[in-house]
Amino acid sequence: MEATEPRAAAFFDLDKTLMQGSSAFQFARAVREAGLMTRRQLASAAYADMRFRVRGATDADSEELRDRIASSLEGIRVRDLERLGVRVLTRILPKLYPRMLTIAYDHQDAGRPVYIVTAAAQGLADVLANVLSFDGAVGSALSEIEDGVYTGRATGAFLYRDAKAVAVAALAEEHGFDLQASYAYSDSSSDLPMLGVVGHPVVVNPDAELTRMAREQGWEILRLDPLRRRLVMAAGLTAAAAAGGAAAAVVASRRSGAGGPPAIQSRRGKEDPGRRRKAWPRRA
């Protein structure tokens, strides 16, 4: 009797892994467009998103982001938020990395179901998984709900750090996946617990700590975020421009230090003897 291959799956983080930047910010923009968020709240979300894309997220950043999202929902009807699903998707879909979708679909074609595992809202994760034809998603609860209205108080499971590993293990137990034959993709060192429970971890746009760990462990590294590359390129161009400006300043300084350009100096420093006027004796 032939041995069958173990049943495996592939688990994908969302922010900075499947997509550029933060899904929470795209969610906030849609909420703002619907008049359910102030400009100040949106500006705060924009700053957090830019910082997240450039340097990654710390534990404190992620907890703060969760609390900010929860508090911003205070007084909003659940139904109103559900109606924003299309707006949110129109912002997130253009941010998806085509290469990551190809990787996910290759897993499916190889018989490995694919799941989104994210700290983003469960509802958003479900909708996105459905649109992308993934096999499922696990996300976070955001805010308490009373009488169909969000209270603004964070509640429920927040899928971050160890909680993601627990969610992946639960999926494996439910569906009979062999985690050692499975794959996981993430950008952040906070997802090391999730990456550590599978046999094939892959890091995508990794932060500094995850880059170090991936190199030590020999994990595959994918770098896809154009923003980081543009910032690095801009920094290089700025340095080159500064160096060029400094060189020009040195040349100009050398020319002006002796009293002006050489051609002018030569004319001022030496008079033409042929043009010198004769000194005639004065009349008595």
Query: Would residue 272 show up in a list of annotated catalytic residues for this protein?
Result: no
Catalytic residue among 15, 49, 187, 191: 15
Catalytic residue among 13, 49, 187, 191: 13
Tokens 């932060």, located at residue:
207
d(CA 25, CA 172): 30
Give, in order, the Cα–Cα distances in Å from 99 to each of 106, 210, 274.
Answer: 10, 20, 80
**C-alpha angle 90/55/194, rounded to 5°?**
75
**C-alpha angle 243/248/249, rounded to 5°?**
95
Identify which of 136, 118, 139 has the alpha carbon closest to the alpha carbon of residue 57. Answer: 118
What tokens were used for 231? Answer: 């910032």
Query: Would residue 225 show up in a list of annotated catalytic residues for this protein?
Result: no
Maximum distance among all Cα pairs of the chain, rounded to whole angstroms:
138
d(CA 174, CA 29): 36
* Active site positions, annotated: 13, 15
